[in-house]
């Protein structure tokens, strides 16, 4: 990006109420068949328009075509039974009924490639596409086949690499892997988590990102955050290895979080998507609050590598709140951009 402090969002944005129940994760579709196909496209265009109206520089589909950032991708794969469900503990934090891996996993056909082509047709701006990361995928499933988290993660990494290469060919500029699980399973991240992520980006020419957050603003996550104490040092466990990895961009939660900003120093050299919008509150940040977070981050990341962003996806928020937050992000980034250019 030539523009200083290019803005983007971490992932999902709210869907229109005619497509799915607002403010809800895994919200079922309200349309069916061809109407659903058209409805998803219309929602994608509206969501793109919201980002453009707000002046967001790197735009996305806002995940309008998926019910959930992990399971929708998995639904399209062989080897996973969505009818046979087991209760597992997700992120070591909350119980959920999840699908079962019963055989070899495989991707018979592209999952999001047509959606990405559609987004590409709508805009000349840089586009970012989010995929779930291998570790977060295995953490959202019951494995009755491989019986090894690591083995299954390597299989998913191969599949993600196939999808990522086709997304790149469809004109995606940045491919992002969502790895909230990186904030929980530090030993596994260092043993094989980052290695499987590197397998997922193997051979890509486009830019790559990893998004590591403290989750959506749902109760299980906000309750968990209350147990983490006054300083959240989770990133410290994995940043040294991440700094040495081939990933270009690291997307982080910084606004209203208790992550000490100086931890960003540990990934010096990487581009950093600094979360300057809190997705766990309906309060809309002022541009000045956004600017203050970006200024703090600038002590630890070079200006040409700082990408203002949201803490996480905004799907659980009301649409008008999400729009307000996009505007605040844009306006806050502009304040700091002007300061930097005046120097
Ligand atoms: Zn997130």
pLDDT of 333 reads 98
Angle 287-297/319-342 helices, nearest 10 degrees? 50
DSSP annotation of 60: -
Instruction: For 261-306, write each residue's pLDDT tens digit.
Output: 999 999 999 999 999 999 999 999 999 999 999 999 999 999 999 9
> Ligand 1 centre from 240 Cα, in Å?
21
> Ligand 1 centre from 341 Cα, in Å?
31
Q: What are phi and psi of 103, to 5 degrees?
A: -155, -170
* CA 160 to the chain's CA centroid: 15
Query: What residues have a C-beta under 5 A from ligand 1, the ion?
Result: 213, 312
Mean pLDDT value of segment 133-143:
96
Do 272 and 301 form a contact (C-beta atoms < 8 A)? yes
> Ligand 1 centre from 310 Cα, in Å?
9
> Ligand 1 centre from 212 Cα, in Å?
6
pLDDT of 14 reads 97
Instruction: For 193-236, write each residue's pLDDT tens digit.
Output: 999 999 999 999 999 999 999 888 788 888 888 898 888 899 99
239 has pLDDT over 80: yes
d(CA 138, CA 156): 8
pLDDT of 291 reads 98
> Ligand 1 centre from 124 Cα, in Å?
26
> Ligand 1 centre from 211 Cα, in Å?
6
């Amino acid at each position: 990006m030539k523009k200083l402090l290019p803005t983007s969002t971490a992932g999902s944005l709210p869907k229109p109420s005619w497509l799915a129940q607002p403010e809800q994760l895994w919200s079922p579709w309200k349309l069916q068949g061809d109407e659903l196909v058209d409805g998803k496209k219309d929602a994608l265009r509206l969501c793109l328009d919201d980002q453009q109206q707000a002046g967001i520089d790197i735009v996305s589909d806002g995940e309008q075509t998926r019910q959930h950032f992990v399971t929708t991708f998995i639904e399209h794969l062989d080897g996973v039974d969505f009818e046979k469900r087991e209760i597992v503990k997700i992120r070591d934090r909350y119980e959920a009924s999840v699908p079962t891996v019963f055989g070899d996993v495989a991707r018979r056909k592209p999952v999001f490639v047509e959606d990405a082509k559609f987004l590409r047709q709508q805009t000349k701006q840089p586009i970012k596409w989010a995929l779930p990361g291998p570790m977060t995928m295995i953490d959202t499933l019951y494995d009755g086949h491989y019986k090894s988290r690591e083995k299954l993660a390597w299989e998913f990494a191969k599949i993600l690499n196939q999808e990522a290469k086709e997304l790149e060919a469809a004109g995606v500029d940045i491919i992002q892997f969502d790895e909230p699980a990186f904030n929980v399973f530090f030993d596994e991240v260092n043993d094989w988590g980052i290695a499987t992520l590197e397998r997922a980006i193997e051979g890509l020419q486009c830019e790559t990102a990893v998004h590591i957050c403290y989750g959506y603003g749902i109760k299980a996550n906000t309750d968990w955050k209350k147990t983490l104490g006054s300083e959240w040092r989770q990133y410290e466990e994995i940043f040294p290895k991440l700094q040495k990895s081939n990933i270009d961009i690291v997307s982080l939660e910084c606004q209203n979080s208790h992550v000490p900003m100086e931890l960003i120093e540990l990934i010096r050299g990487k581009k950093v998507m600094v979360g300057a919008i809190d997705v766990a509150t309906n309060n809309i940040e002022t541009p000045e609050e956004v600017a203050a977070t970006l200024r703090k981050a600038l002590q630890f990341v070079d200006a040409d590598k700082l990408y203002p962003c949201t803490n996480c996806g905004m799907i659980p928020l009301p649409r008008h709140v999400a729009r307000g937050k996009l505007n605040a992000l844009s306006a806050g980034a502009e304040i700091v951009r002007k300061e930097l250019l005046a120097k």
